[in-house]
Amino acid sequence: MVVTTLQSWPEPVVRVQSLSDSGINAIPECYVKPIYDRPSSLDLQSKEANIPLIDLANLDSDDPTLRKATMDLISAASHHWGFFQVINHGVSYRLMESTRRIWREFFHLPLHVKQAYANSPTTYEGYGSRLGVAKGAKLDWSDYFFLHFLPVSMRDVRKWPAQPLSCRELVGEYNEEVMKLCGRLMKVFSLNLGLEEDYLENAFGGEEIGASLRVNFYPKCPQPDLTLGISPHSDPGGFTILLPDDHVSGLQVRKDDAWVTVKPIPNAFIINLADQLQVISNAKYRSVEHRVVVNSNEERVSLAFFYNPRGDILIQPAERLITNEEPALYPPMTFNEYRTFIRLNGLHGKTQVESLKSPR
């Protein structure tokens, strides 16, 4: 695992929720984004645009035609969008709602209770309000809680919130169920590339893959046109399963030269392909830039479950996908090395994985 040697944050940490609750009319300068990064209605595609919605019910059908039709939809979405929503995915709707609700309750606990889980830049695990350790950096309008789930050697339930009382139990159950969905999707991603169904899982490290959960809390913002909940980026790992807020949108996905606001579907997950799948697929799958906007009327809670390769295993384009006409676009690199590369070069967004491409 990649860690930074800095043991504490370069500046005092201010909880964004505390700023929001204080009734301020103007956000502090450190949250004001450069003009080119601010959200604008001019950036957006039509209100009718949305990422693909795919029903997974037929993945287990006895009819091969129905199975293939669903797999083809996933293949097209992975290639053209890098994002899609899924319904009938096998995770209990009750569990989804209960887990989201208990995390909302956590963020509304008294500050001193949450502060007991305050994180540091050593591992980021715990209750946080910033990413990155650059002094004077522009910050995002969000708080979060980050925890490790896999490998088991990194899982420390004592670092998970003990309050609300059923939080640890629900989080464990939720993570287990989402992991099952990850396993199903990895098989589909493999088969759609013409590989054995367990190829990608094995390439990620088999039973030693990494998985973590980041719960995002976006408080109401008095000047949402000046800031972002999360700045534009692509996810560095394998792929992400996002449980969005059930009634407030905020996620935006880059499509061509515009931002598309994702409209959450009840009881659906949002699937987000990340950089390592783009590398292994030799760019047949897309890892796409995305961001989060905030608003002045409502808070938002979302749960991002990250499915990642083992940190020390080499990730490279699958040999079967390499031909004279389509040579390998990316050099071999471990996930740990990749995260270090991003951090040292200050990369984010679409420049992350694209910057690795070999000249043709």
Q: What is the DSSP string of 207-248?
A: GG-EEEEEEEEE---S-TTS--SEEEE--SSSEEEEE--SS-
- pLDDT number for residue 57: 97
Tell me if 11 is assigned to some domain.
no
Phi, psi of 106 (to 5 degrees): -60, -45
For 7, the 3-state DSSP assignment is coil
- pLDDT number for residue 4: 44
Tell me if 2 is assigned to some domain.
no
- Average of pLDDT values for 157-182? 97
Mean pLDDT lowest among 6-15, 203-212, 215-224: 6-15
H helix and E strand count, the chain: 9, 14
- pLDDT number for residue 270: 98
The count of structural domains within the chain is: 1
Q: Is 31 within 8 Å of 138 (Cβ atoms)?
A: yes
- pLDDT number for residue 357: 65
- Average of pLDDT values for 273-299? 97
The order of strands in the sheet holding 143-150 is: 53-55, 83-87, 269-273, 239-243, 300-308, 210-218, 143-150, 126-128
Q: Please write the tens of the pLDDT for every residue from 331-350.
A: 999 999 998 888 776 655 55
Tell me if 285 is assigned to some domain.
yes
Distances (CA, A) of 344 to 120, 137, 306: 19, 15, 22
CATH, residue 72: 2.60.120.330
Domain extent, residue 211, equals 16-356
Record the tokens describing residue 54, joined without a space: 């795919």
CA dist., res. 281 & res. 318, Å (int): 6
Q: Please write the tens of the pLDDT for every residue from 138-161.
A: 999 999 999 999 999 999 999 999
Tell me if 1 is assigned to some domain.
no
CA dist., res. 211 & res. 275, Å (int): 15
Tell me if 7 is assigned to some domain.
no
Tell me if 305 is assigned to some domain.
yes
Tell me if 9 is assigned to some domain.
no
- Look at residue 42 and tell me whether its pLDDT is greater than 70: no
Record the tokens describing residue 282, joined without a space: 């030799």
Q: Please write the tens of the pLDDT for every residue from 7-39.
A: 688 888 999 999 999 999 999 999 999 998 899
Indicate the pTM of the whole model. 0.94
Tell me if 4 is assigned to some domain.
no
CA dist., res. 107 & res. 20, Å (int): 13
Element (H, E) at 302: strand 300-308
The 10 Å CB-count burial string (b at 16+, else e) for 296-323 is eeebbbbbbbbbbbbbebebbbbeebee
